[in-house]
Chain A
Amino acid sequence: NAGVTQTPKFRILKIGQSMTLQCAQDMNHNYMYWYRQDPGMGLKLIYYSVGAGITDKGEVPNGYNVSRSTTEDFPLRLELAAPSQTSVYFCASSPPSTDGYTFGSGTRLTVV
């Protein structure tokens, strides 16, 4: 099993550019999440989804969009990249139970 796969691993964007961070899981998990990690700040929830066709905002959604057309995929879209979006982005998935998440290995994004 691949688990949670994130692509790309690294990316440098110029201010104002757009990009999509890809996330796919093969565990048939209903729940999927996008977090960003900044030094000393822990993980902040950007968006989440409890199933295909259902998405909702997390703690820090501004500047991002998501879609969930299938159970497996949960892409995160940045429309107009800003330096404040320089961060490491983690996608995670979980079954609808009290077990913890399975995280991807992250995408390190730099906006210059």
Chain B
Amino acid sequence: GQQLNQSPQSMFIQEGEDVSMNCTSSSIFNTWLWYKQDPGEGPVLLIALYKAGELTSNGRLTAQFGITRKDSFLNISASIPSDVGIYFCAGRVSGNTGKLIFGQGTTLQVKP
């Protein structure tokens, strides 16, 4: 079945540093999404990307939809302690089901 490979698996950084994570797939997706999960909560949508090559920002977050439609990356600039959590990429499966395939997640820890 379709799979997304997300890396790195975990990151431990100093407050103020920039962070980059990416997601790759052997399949093409028409929509890429990035979610953040705080401890004890469900994931929350951060950014949605709909077109190959699209670069979208949401505050300190920037995400890109790869030209090949098989990858995406997420950058966080000037990290702060509340950025701690698990970040998931997701690709939308083609067809009219709305199904998403999720990456394994990147656990981010920020040291004040």
- Chain A interfacial positions (CB closer than 8 Å to B): 4, 31, 33, 35, 40-45, 48, 50, 56, 58-59, 90, 92, 94, 96, 98-101, 103-106
Contact = CB atoms under 8 A, between A and B. Distances in A.
Decide if the interface of chain B is mainly helix, strand, loop or mixed: loop
A31 B97 contact: yes
A40 B105 contact: yes
Contacts of A94: 98
Decide if the interface of chain A is mainly helix, strand, loop or mixed: strand
B96 A90 contact: no
Given A59-B1, A99-B48, A48 B42 contact: no
Interface of B: 1, 4, 6, 9, 30-31, 33, 35, 40-45, 48, 50, 88, 90, 92, 96-105
A45 B104 CA distance: 13
B6 A42 contact: yes
